[in-house]
């Protein structure tokens, strides 16, 4: 029995497809195999169970608890954490990439040519994904098909909305440049709101630090002499 057959006996087709879709979101540079990942998850959970069972006095109680927690946290660590970082990275690159793409379109190039020029002049993981899209077009896919496939590799809803806008503009003949300017304005406003959100959290953070560090220190300074006099 090979690893694929083994995994398919343990998990439903729906669950496996869900994991495959998640792994696709890691992008073109991703080397994770879904069957290796799921076998590693199961195998490491079994090892953890027996280690806890052997090492701790109440292992028969702790082993199932630790194993269940680890089993459900495994994907959060191995996939969800990476996807979260990738989303942040993609969105941080998006505004510059689409600004350059818009400028390329304004020179009279078609969308494929503009993407080629942009990916040649802009580096980053978003540029790599568009470069892969152009490569797929060169191998015979239509641009719309390649863009639709690209959406399966992008975990950001914001960027996927822009890709969808490019697809619709290319399909129905709408103004791509006008759509891109609207999307760039949205990205700019979104970034402003994110910065304002981070700034608004600063007073709360300072208050928490004050409660846990400065207030006890201040109380110690005030009450310290009184306590020493009492003990003396």
> Domain boundaries in the chain?
3-84, 89-191
Class of domain 89-191: mainly alpha
In angstroms, the CA 102 to CA 221 distance is 61
pLDDT (tens digit, 9 = 90+) per residue, 128-176?
A: 999 999 999 999 999 999 999 999 999 999 999 999 988 988 887 777 8
User: Under DSSP, is residue 151 helix (H, G, I), strand (E, B) or coil?
Assistant: helix
Comparison of pLDDT for 216 and 166, the residue scoring more: 166
C-alpha 179 chain-centroid distance: 25
* pTM recorded for the entire structure: 0.77
C-alpha to C-alpha distance for 123 and 30, rounded to whole angstroms? 18
Q: What is the mean pLDDT of residues 212-222?
A: 65
C-alpha 187/C-alpha 181 separation (Å) is 10
Question: Quick one: pLDDT at residue 89?
Answer: 93
Tell me the CB-side half-sphere exposure of residue 194, using CA atoms within 13 A. Answer: 9
User: What is the CB neighbour count within 10 angstroms for residue 199?
Assistant: 9
The tokens of 3 are what? 């690893």
CA-only gyration radius of the chain, Å:
26
d(CA 231, CA 58) in angstroms, rounded, equals 43
pLDDT at 202 over 70: no
Quote the CA–CA distance of 155 and 203 in Å, as a whole number: 31
Give the model's pLDDT for residue 97. Answer: 94
What pLDDT, on a 0 to 100 scale, did the predictor assign at position 232?
57
Q: What's the pLDDT tens digit per position in 77-136? A: 888 889 999 999 999 999 999 999 999 999 888 899 999 999 999 999 999 999 999 999
Phi, psi of 29 (to 5 degrees): -85, 0
- What's the chain's average pLDDT? 85
Confidence class for position 50, pLDDT limits 50, 70, 90:
very high
Phi/psi at 116 (5° precision) = -60, -45
Q: How far apart are alpha carbons 173 and 125 in whole angstroms?
A: 28
Residue 175: partners with Cβ closer than 8 Å, 6 or more residues away:
169
């Amino acid at each position: 029995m090979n690893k694929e057959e083994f995994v398919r006996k343990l998990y439903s087709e729906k669950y496996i497809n869900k994991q495959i879709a998640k792994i696709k979101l890691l992008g073109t540079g991703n080397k994770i195999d879904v069957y290796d990942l799921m076998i590693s998850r199961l195998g490491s959970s079994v090892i953890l169970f027996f280690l806890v069972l052997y090492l701790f006095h109440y292992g028969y109680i702790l082993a199932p608890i630790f194993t269940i927690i680890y089993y459900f946290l495994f994907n959060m660590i191995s996939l969800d954490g990476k996807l979260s970082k990738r989303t942040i990275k993609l969105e941080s690159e998006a505004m510059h990439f689409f600004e350059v793409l818009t400028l390329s379109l304004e020179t009279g190039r078609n969308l494929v040519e503009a993407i080629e020029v942009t990916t040649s002049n802009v580096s980053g993981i978003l540029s790599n994904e568009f470069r892969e899209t152009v490569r797929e077009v060169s191998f015979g896919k239509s641009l719309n098909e390649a863009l639709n496939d690209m959406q399966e590799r992008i975990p950001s809803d914001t960027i996927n909305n822009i890709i969808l806008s490019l697809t619709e503009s290319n399909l129905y003949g709408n103004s791509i440049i006008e759509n891109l300017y609207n999307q760039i304005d949205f990205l700019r406003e979104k970034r402003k709101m994110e910065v304002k959100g981070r700034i608004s959290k600063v007073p709360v953070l300072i208050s928490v630090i004050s409660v846990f560090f400065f207030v006890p220190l201040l109380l110690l300074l005030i009450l310290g002499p009184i306590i020493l006099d009492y003990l003396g």
